[in-house]
Amino acid sequence: MSAILVASNRGPVSFTLSEGGSLSMRRGGGGLVSGLSEVARDVNALWVCAALSDGDRGAARLAPGGRLDQAGYDTGTVRMLDIPPATFHRAYNAVANSTLWFVHHLLYDTPNRPHFDARFRREWESYRTYNEAFAMALAEEAPHGARVMVQDYHLSLAPAMLRGERPDLRVAHFSHTPWAPPEYFSLLPDDVATELLEGILGADHAGFLTDRWGGAFMDCCETVLGARVDRGERTVTHAGRTTRIGTHSLGVDGKALWTRASEPDVESHMAALRDQVGDRRLIVRIDRTELSKNIVRGLLAYKQFLAAHPEWHGRVTHLAFAYPSRHDLPEYREYTAAVQRCAEEIEDEYATEDWDPLILNVEDDYPRSLAAYRLADVLLVNPIRDGMNLVAKEGPVLSPHSALVLSREAGAAAELGEHALTVNPYDVSATATALHEGLTMPSDERTRRGVLLAAAATALPPHRWFAAQLDALG
């Protein structure tokens, strides 16, 4: 058994079930997975994850005890949990993505939502059951004294549950999202807010991407639980236990990113994009159509920039890659439609026979995204709230000659803001001005800033980020 265990909703691999019933495996998606996969293999960690699809469930049921590595798959040491689909749906979609994500990113339209009723209580029970499944699997797999790294808001209850089963283990929890301030966190029912905080406080170490998010967590513990908080020592003491609060700012592996971005498929996409846009300057954004990513205001800012600066007509193109996200939730379907409507308005108003002012693409294509990074003159990253935002870090590594327009509400602003063009994400006019400033910035100044941005972006790559949390557990 492994002395290091990792737990996350999404695992390092996923499976697709063909019409003939055969299973095919591919790498799991998402920033968390890409950051953790190689690290977990290098330290021989056992990774516990959930089956997300029918293909995943089929693979988990055929593997002994859900252990994919014992079923002949080249996955590293992985246990995939076959949680009943209805339970998983309520835990993942109704609570994690439709409640906790909305709370931490301050996304609610509060005159209308949320409303926590009997249906929510059933959903919360499923979230608790889902966390119990992880806690029990970790308790079964972990040798005495092992270190367990629990990841993200999907598993906020698991540390305390695991502590109850295995007090010998050293447990860390890491939040990849922002953390809501007490006045917003208190939208949650009092008992739910208490259970979430006490769940994470079951860990010995609670990690966050920035001091700001860790500070908000401590504020919630003090306000909601009445816990004793030592901000100097960065500890929270509650119910006879003390949890240390750490800041671990996840960066990118610059060498690995460049290696991937230099492969033939990326070079091919670069040539195709250049054929499409000619020698025009490029404003690039790469995002999921996620409510917090603020794509619509970004497009409105570009539209205002075009209105204010007719001298740029025909000389600039905006590459906006907005990949679908969470389309099983109605808010996300509506938001994607709003993005497309805004893009059509820009095209209708400004496009000419020989100039496309905007190229919007909603099909996920990682090599094409890497190609766009490399070609960017300005990178727009304007979330209304973001735990970190790795796009803001990947871009300067692959395009150190570009200017970065960055929301002050992204966690990455704590490290990159000094060298970026920092904006209030709600201020469309200021964002339009920043786009112009980025395009007109002297090349030597863009290069000077780009070198500093790339250095900050690669300061704590995934291996060092993970090692720092292991060290924090002793």
pLDDT tens track of the chain, all 474 residues?
A: 569 999 999 998 889 888 777 888 887 666 567 667 778 877 889 999 999 999 999 999 999 999 998 988 888 899 999 999 999 999 999 999 999 999 999 999 999 999 999 999 999 999 999 999 999 999 999 999 999 999 999 999 999 999 999 999 999 999 999 999 999 999 999 999 999 999 999 999 999 999 999 999 999 999 999 999 999 999 999 999 999 999 999 999 999 999 999 999 999 999 999 999 999 999 999 998 999 999 999 999 999 999 999 999 999 999 999 887 776 778 888 899 999 999 999 999 999 999 999 999 888 788 999 999 999 999 999 999 999 999 999 999 999 999 999 999 999 999 999 999 999 999 999 999 999 999 999 999 999 999 999 999 999 999 999 999 999 998
Confidence at residue 29, expressed as pLDDT on a 0 to 100 scale: 64
Beta strands in 95-188 (DSSP E): 147-151, 170-175
Say which residues have a Cβ less than 8 Å from residue 170's Cβ, sequence separation at least 6: 145, 146, 147, 148, 204, 473, 474
- The residues of the chain that CATH labels 3.40.50.2000 are 4-250+463-472, 254-457
Confidence at residue 1, expressed as pLDDT on a 0 to 100 scale: 55
Beta bridge partners of 355: 352
Confidence at residue 27, expressed as pLDDT on a 0 to 100 scale: 77
SS3 assignment, position 372: helix
The C-alpha angle 186, 290, 6, rounded to 5 degrees, equals 75
Question: Helical H runs in 326-442?
Answer: 330-350, 366-375, 391-398, 413-416, 428-440
What proportion of the chain, given as a percentage, has pLDDT over 90?
Answer: 85
The C-alpha angle 414, 415, 421, rounded to 5 degrees, equals 85
CA dihedral of 130, 107, 230, 168, whole degrees rounded to 10: 10
| DSSP-assigned states of every residue in 22-65 | -EEEEEPPSHHHHHHHHHHHHTT-EEEEE--SHHHHHHHHHSGG
C-alpha 340/C-alpha 328 separation (Å) is 18
4-250+463-472: CATH topology is: Rossmann fold (3.40.50)
Please check whether residue 160 is in contact with residue 198, taking contact to mean a CB–CB distance below 8 angstroms. Answer: yes
C-alpha 386/C-alpha 395 separation (Å) is 16
Burial 367-385 (b: 16+ CB within 10 A, else e): bbbbbbbbbbbbbbbbbbb
The C-alpha angle 418, 420, 421, rounded to 5 degrees, equals 110
Q: How many CB atoms lie within 10 A of CB 208?
A: 27
CA dihedral of 261, 262, 265, 266, whole degrees rounded to 10: 50
Please check whether residue 193 is in contact with residue 224, taking contact to mean a CB–CB distance below 8 angstroms. Answer: yes
SS3 assignment, position 87: helix
Please give the single-letter amino acid code of residue 58: G
CATH code for 254-457?
3.40.50.2000
Closest CA to 98 of 130, 127, 78, 57: 127
C-alpha 216/C-alpha 223 separation (Å) is 10
CA dihedral of 258, 263, 267, 270, whole degrees rounded to 10: -50
Please give the single-letter amino acid code of residue 472: A
Confidence at residue 22, expressed as pLDDT on a 0 to 100 scale: 82
197-235 pLDDT per residue, tens: 999 999 999 999 999 999 999 999 999 999 999 999 999
Confidence at residue 32, expressed as pLDDT on a 0 to 100 scale: 64
